[in-house]
């Protein structure tokens, strides 16, 4: 039995990851801003799997509250063995091409909020000498693209943060994994046509949890994105800037 915190638990991807952990008998703390939806999801996981599931409000942007939030989690679960960061947003992407406040918000939620809470979790797990940190980043963080670079930059920063954390904590018994989904069929991609390799949140959740439990360092999900991004990263900038991708 592990004690696992899932942040951004109202996302379908996180919800199905919660199913995977609960099925394995783990105790969960589900966190996000929408408390009503959280309670609904927590109740559903309790009934389906007979699991112990706590739920609590968490706002990535309220960095001053992160320390108290982690203490609430530790009190509820009686400790912590793993944290899965799934929270993220692409809201305001269009505005972010012009407005400083919009670009800052994308960075605050997708990067600063994640780095803040995971820094606190890392200190706890490092002292314990065991545990895991899984961060859901994105293939969008692998290369700056004209269509989404304010979001991609935040995810790219998050991937680098996780990489450094992994290299620090690997000597301390703590596993850090970077999960890089391609397109997932959720609210974030709703209404966008012909997305290549679009995967269901169930599939991405299942493969992500498998990667965590196998102790992987980086997992592209589905795996085909490893090859896609290898090719995309190899295209020289002078050609890439003329392409419409
Ligand atoms: N969908 C895709 O194609 C795709 C591809 C690659 C990576 N991803 C990543 O996968 C993760 C899940 O995304 P999704 O597609 O499932 O989108 P989603 O349904 O919009 O879920 C986003 C989650 O983030 C939470 N969140 C947003 N702002 C927050 C804040 N300020 N504080 C705390 N939580 C916040 C939301 O909860 P509340 O609103 O309740 O706070 C929700 O649980 C994200 O990190 C996303 O970047 C998605």
Q: What spatial distance separates the first Cα and last Cα of the chain, rounded to whole Å?
A: 44
pLDDT for 86-103, tens place per residue? 999 999 999 999 999 999
Å from CA of 89 to ligand 1 middle: 5
So what's the pLDDT on residue 192?
Answer: 80
Over range 164-171, report the average pLDDT. Answer: 97
Percent of the chain scoring above 70 in pLDDT = 100
Give ligand 1 pocket residues (Cβ under 6 A).
8, 10-14, 32-34, 37, 58-61, 86-89, 109, 136, 138, 181, 183-184, 186-189
Å from CA of 202 to ligand 1 middle: 15
Q: What is the pTM of this model?
A: 0.97
Q: By C-alpha distance, which of 172, 170, 173, 152 is closest to 162?
A: 170
So what's the pLDDT on residue 150?
Answer: 97
- Mutational test site, ligand 1, from 5, 7, 10, 11, max ligand atoms within 8 Å of CB: 11
> Is residue 193 predicted with pLDDT exceeding 90?
no
So what's the pLDDT on residue 164?
Answer: 98
Å from CA of 54 to ligand 1 middle: 19
Question: Residue 27 and residue 87: Cα distance in Å, rounded?
Answer: 20
Instruction: Provide CB contacts within 8 A for 200, sequence distance 6+.
Output: 184, 185
So what's the pLDDT on residue 200?
Answer: 94
Question: Residue 40 and residue 13: Cα distance in Å, rounded?
Answer: 16
- Full set of structural domains in the chain with CATH: 3-240 (3.40.50.720)
> Is residue 61 predicted with pLDDT exceeding 80?
yes
Tell me the average pLDDT of the chain. 96
CB 22 within 8 A of CB 42: no
So what's the pLDDT on residue 204?
Answer: 97
pLDDT for 111-140, tens place per residue? 999 999 999 999 999 999 999 999 999 999
> Is residue 210 predicted with pLDDT exceeding 90?
yes
pLDDT for 1-28, tens place per residue? 999 999 999 999 999 999 999 999 999 9
pLDDT band at 189 (very low <50, low <70, confident <90, very high): confident
pLDDT for 214-243, tens place per residue? 999 999 999 999 999 999 999 999 999 999
So what's the pLDDT on residue 187?
Answer: 84
> Is residue 47 predicted with pLDDT exceeding 80?
yes
Q: By C-alpha distance, which of 144, 148, 89 is closest to 114?
A: 89
Q: By C-alpha distance, which of 211, 245, 206, 214 is closest to 228?
A: 245
Question: Looking at ligand 1, which atom is closest to the CA of residue 91?
Answer: 20
Question: Looking at ligand 1, which atom is closest to the CA of residue 38?
Answer: 40
């Amino acid at each position: 039995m592990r004690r696992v915190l899932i942040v951004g638990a109202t996302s379908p991807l996180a919800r199905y990851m919660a199913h995977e952990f609960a099925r394995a008998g783990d105790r969960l703390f589900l966190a996000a801003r929408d408390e009503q939806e959280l309670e609904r999801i927590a109740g559903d996981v309790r009934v389906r799997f007979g699991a112990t599931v706590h739920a609590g409000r968490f706002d990535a942007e309220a960095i001053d509250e992160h320390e108290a939030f982690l203490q609430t989690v530790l009190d509820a679960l009686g400790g912590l063995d793993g944290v899965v960061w799934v929270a993220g947003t692409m809201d305001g992407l269009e505005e972010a091409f012009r407005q400083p406040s919009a670009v800052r918000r994308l960075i605050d939620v997708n990067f600063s909020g994640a780095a803040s809470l995971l820094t606190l979790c890392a200190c706890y797990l490092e002292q314990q000498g065991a545990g895991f940190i899984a961060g859901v980043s994105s293939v969008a963080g692998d290369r700056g693209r004209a269509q989404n670079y304010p979001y991609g930059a935040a995810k790219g920063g998050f991937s680098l943060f996780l990489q450094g954390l992994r290299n620090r904590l690997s000597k301390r018994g703590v596993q850090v994994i970077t999960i890089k989904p391609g397109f997932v069929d959720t609210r974030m991609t709703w209404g966008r046509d012909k997305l290549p390799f679009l995967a269901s949140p169930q599939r991405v959740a299942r493969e992500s949890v498998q990667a965590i439990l196998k102790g992987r360092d980086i997992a592209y999900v589905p795996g085909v994105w490893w090859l896609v991004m290898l090719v995309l990263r190899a295209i020289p900038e002078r050609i890439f800037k003329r392409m419409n991708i």
